[in-house]
């Protein structure tokens, strides 16, 4: 996973609450090999009509270079399928901005290098109004926890450990190894202070 701290790209608004993981990628496409890419199946049923034709009025069909989605609360709710994050990443999305996310979805985002930026509903509504049905340039700074769009500059919340993982491109093992010195010190102290609890290695 490649780490990142600053992103500048095109943002669009998806003014819909509780976009669930089955809307992000319908279950019937999850049998496709991951190596083939899940991007074409992102929002498959929302992007197409009953004949499979792309809907011209769907925002991601009109702005194919989008990298940031501004959504409403409950984004990524539903099942725990990690393929929903794969679909977003494979389609070029690097961040989703919303008032709240499905818990497992948000964790899956972090583990794959995608930012789930959590803003209050008023700030999200301001971004949504600024975007309307258009795409505009957006700037996201993870270290500063700041999003800038047009004349709007707003902070977002992100757990410190999650920010560390995104910035460095780390997984959970990398994050643990960053505390190797503390772990070793605890292990040494524990073995001295409670030798009776320490495993004995047979000769």
> What is the Cα Rg of the chain in Å?
21
Longest CA span, the chain: 73
| pLDDT at site 191 | 85
pLDDT class of 203 with cuts at 50, 70, 90: low
With H, G, I as helix, E, B as strand and everything else as coil, classify residue 8: strand
User: Which residues 6+ apart lie within 8 Å of 148 measured at CB?
Assistant: 138, 139, 140, 141
pLDDT class of 158 with cuts at 50, 70, 90: very high
Q: How many CB atoms lie within 10 A of CB 19?
A: 26
State the Cα–Cα distance between residues 71 and 149, nearest whole angstrom. Answer: 15
Percent of the chain with pLDDT over 70: 99
This prediction's pTM: 0.91
State the Cα–Cα distance between residues 27 and 83, nearest whole angstrom. Answer: 9
Mean pLDDT, range 14-27, rounded to an integer: 96
Name the residue with higher pLDDT: 59 or 80. 59
State the Cα–Cα distance between residues 18 and 20, nearest whole angstrom. Answer: 6
User: Which residues 6+ apart lie within 8 Å of 92 measured at CB?
Assistant: 39, 65, 66, 67
Nearest of 146, 82, 84 to residue 119 by alpha carbon: 146
Residues 111-132 pLDDT 10s: 999 999 999 999 999 999 999 9
């Amino acid at each position: 996973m490649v780490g990142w701290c600053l992103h500048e790209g095109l943002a669009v608004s998806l003014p819909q609450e509780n976009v669930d993981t089955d809307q992000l990628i319908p279950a019937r496409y999850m049998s496709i090999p991951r190596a083939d890419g899940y991007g074409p199946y992102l929002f498959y049923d929302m992007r197409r009509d009953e004949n499979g034709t792309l809907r011209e009025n769907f925002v991601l069909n009109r702005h194919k270079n989008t990298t940031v989605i501004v959504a409403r609360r409950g984004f990524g709710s539903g099942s725990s399928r990690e393929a929903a994050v794969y679909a977003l990443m494979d389609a070029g999305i690097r961040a989703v901005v919303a008032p709240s996310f499905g818990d497992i979805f948000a964790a899956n985002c972090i583990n794959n290098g995608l930012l789930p930026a959590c803003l209050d509903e008023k700030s999200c509504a301001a971004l949504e109004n600024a975007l309307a049905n258009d795409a505009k340039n957006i700037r996201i700074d993870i270290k500063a926890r700041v999003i800038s769009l047009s004349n709007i500059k707003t902070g977002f919340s992100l757990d410190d450990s999650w920010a560390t993982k995104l910035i460095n491109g780390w997984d959970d093992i990398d994050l643990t190894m960053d505390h190797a010195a503390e772990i070793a010190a605890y292990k040494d102290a524990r073995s001295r202070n409670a030798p009776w609890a320490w495993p004995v290695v047979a000769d």
